[in-house]
Amino acid sequence: MQLTLWTYEGPPHVGAMRIATAMEGVHYVLHAPQGDTYADLLFTMIERLPKRPPVTYTTFQARDLGGDTAELFKTAARDAYERFKPDAMMVGASCTAELIQDDPGGLCRALDLPVPVIALELPSYQRKENWGASETFYQMVRALAGPNAPVPGTPKAQRAAGARPRCNILGPSSLGFRHRDDLREITALLLQMGIDINVVAPLGATPADLARLGDAEFNVVLYPEIASLTASWLNRTFGQPATKTIPIGAGATRDFIREVATLADIDASAVLASADSRATWYAKSVDSTYLTNKRVFVFGDATHAVAAARVASEEMGFKVVGIGTYAREFAREVREAAKLYDVEALISDDYLEIEARIAELRPELVLGTQMERHIAKRLGIPCAVISAPVHVQDFPARYSPQMGFEGACVLFDTWVHPLMMGLEEHLIGMFRGDFEFHEDAAPSHLGGHGDARANREPAAESTATSALAAEPEQARDALAPNSTEPATATVATWAPEAEKELRKIPFFVRGKAKRNTERYAQERSVPLITVETLYDAKAHFGS
């Protein structure tokens, strides 16, 4: 058993629902107990879809367990077919139904429905949501496109002279973080390059669309978590190569254009010459100088975390002090990326472990998921969301892609917004104790949620020794036993005047200064940290 406060991913059948809901003309019959229909809310409320997800649940109850739950499933499947007349059906079990082992696939074959029925085996006690989505998409494509596969060894048909190259776009789905707008951005980019779109899947695709996936020359994979399994099958079966670059950030978008041009065998220099992102100039403009080497912690699904770290480092000038993902399937990619920044990758879906790492690193900005927002709020660190899981506010009405050149602009605005503006930052460093712009106030453009801490301030000031204890992360330690703060016995004592001096350091770097000084003192066996020690450490570590 695993003690779980928050979970980064849902169960795998929610992933299957994301595929079913993204597509048109399919229906999913899910063997599940009463109550599992809660998952409908993810689609109708968080994504605000104006339709019910195309899912029929058997919603069995305790009294049904004594009877024939298999018959219940068959009735539900038959009725769902009659009512919705889908072009293809998906059938499967949720975690509880998996335990009673009714075999939805076998039962449905016995019904002999006149449409393809795809049986999904999603092991709920081992796998999670993204795996479920990926597996479902793969099974759907294999079942529907498989019959159109060429005989192995057949030479690939050449593009007719003068015809435009054609590709599929794979990965966008329901409940995906900004999938809607990423798709629009990348579609426009491909069309501008002179490439036609054969099929977009799963979002908006019908079973008939999946059947003609093989007609394209290559595949554009936007979200490997959902589509890389399918793309590699399509490569084996239809000889379609797939893109590897994720076009998040201006630099990655340029790389993506070059990669696509190679796959499509076209010249993209004109597109590259004309392409530019306002974000690139914004980051160069002097106003952004204060962003240099801001310490940032990145966490999310692997695709977004790796892409965000690159943007943070190369396009914003931040310093990546930590990177991690909750997706074990993609741990390798994140470990590779971590090497670039000389940090250790954090591969974990244990919320408390991530909280402990952030508390330890004390970054100035957290780029993460909805969960990291809670951690960041608790620790008083600015935060922006870069990856699912997300809440309703991250399915915005306005156009807000993460991908392409417009996406880069969205990233610039979103990530800089929670930070304190440069001038405010300087003034707080120069004049401490201002009644309005004090260190515990939130950035003034973000409004009032710094009040609670401001009210605690007088108590914290009353004794010099308690001043450090008032740091927010100290209060959290009791809850984060994994915290890697060294045990108090090994830490040198702070002289009162040194402690006072420490409080003069702007708060967003104070945690780091404290840690560095203590490390410095420990390494040199200095028993008492004085003001001198503080500045010795500062000179030693160079910040």
Partner 1 sequence: MSAVIPIREAASGCGEAPVLRERGQREVFCGLTGIIWLHRKIQDAFFLVVGSRTCAHLIQSAAGVMIFAEPRFATAIIDERDLAGLADCNDELDRVVTRLLERRPEIKLLFLVGSCPSEVIKLDLSRAASRLSGRFSPDVRVLNYSGSGIETTFTQGEDACLASLVPSLPASSATAPASLMVVGTLADVVEDQFSRLFAQLGFGTDKPAVRFFPPRRADDLPEVGPNTKFLLAQPFLADTARALEDRGAERLAAPFPLGVEGTTAWLRAAANAFGVDAATFDKVTAAGRERATNALVRHRLQLAGKRVFFFPDSQLEIPIARFLARELGMHLVEVGTPYLHRQHLAEELDMLPAGTLLSEGQHVENQLDRCREVRPDIVVCGLGLANPLEAEGMTTKWAIELVFTPIHGYEQAADLAELFARPLVRRMKLVA
Positions in the binding site for partner 1 (CB under 8 A): 1-7, 9-11, 13-14, 33-42, 44-46, 48-52, 56-62, 64-65, 76, 79, 83, 94-96, 99-100, 123-126, 128, 370, 373-374, 377, 391, 478-479, 481
Q: List the one residue out of 41, 37, 54 whose CA is nearest residue 90.
A: 54
What value, to the nearest 5°, has the Cα angle with vertex 461 and ends 459 and 467? 100
Shortest distance (Å) from residue 3 CB to partner 1 = 5
**Helix (H, G, I), strand (E, B), or coil: what is residue 85?**
coil
Cβ closer to partner 1: 60 or 218?
60
Cβ closer to partner 1: 62 or 286?
62
Shortest distance (Å) from residue 481 CB to partner 1 = 7
How far is the C-alpha of 157 from the C-alpha of 521, rounded, in Å? 70
Q: In angstroms, how far is CA 44 from the centroid of its own chain?
A: 21
State the amino acid at position 527 in one-letter form: P
Cβ closer to partner 1: 166 or 374?
374
Cβ closer to partner 1: 127 or 319?
127
Among residues 68, 267, 276, 287, the one annotated as catalytic is: 287
**Residues 108 and 28 sit within 8 Å (Cβ to Cβ):** no
**Helix (H, G, I), strand (E, B), or coil: what is residue 239?**
coil
User: What is the number of other CB atoms lying within 10 angstroms of the CB of residue 363?
Assistant: 27
Q: In angstroms, how far is CA 57 from the centroid of its own chain?
A: 29
How far is the C-alpha of 280 from the C-alpha of 316, rounded, in Å? 9
**Whether 68 is catalytic:** no
Shortest distance (Å) from residue 283 CB to partner 1 = 31
**Residues 315 and 292 sit within 8 Å (Cβ to Cβ):** no
Handedness of CA 524, 506, 294, 456 (dihedral sign): positive
Which residues, listed in sequence order, are joined to residue 88 by a DSSP beta bridge?
26
Name the residue with tokens 């000179």. 539
Please give the torsion angle defined by the CA atoms of residues 266, 272, 275 and 276, in that order, rounded to the nearest 10 degrees.
Answer: 150
Shortest distance (Å) from residue 83 CB to partner 1 = 6
Shortest distance (Å) from residue 480 CB to partner 1 = 9
Shortest distance (Å) from residue 374 CB to partner 1 = 6
**Helix (H, G, I), strand (E, B), or coil: what is residue 58?**
coil
How far is the C-alpha of 449 from the C-alpha of 335, rounded, in Å? 36
Shortest distance (Å) from residue 411 CB to partner 1 = 24
Cβ closer to partner 1: 58 or 243?
58
Cβ closer to partner 1: 99 or 423?
99
Q: In angstroms, how far is CA 325 from the centroid of its own chain?
A: 8
How far is the C-alpha of 174 from the C-alpha of 177, rounded, in Å? 9
Cβ closer to partner 1: 54 or 249?
54
Residue 215 dihedral angles phi and psi, to the nearest 5°: -75, -15
- How are beta strands 218-221 and 319-325 bridged, if at all? unpaired
How far is the C-alpha of 334 from the C-alpha of 344, rounded, in Å? 10
Cβ closer to partner 1: 3 or 487?
3
Shortest distance (Å) from residue 389 CB to partner 1 = 8
**Helix (H, G, I), strand (E, B), or coil: what is residue 326?**
coil
Catalytic annotation, residues: 287
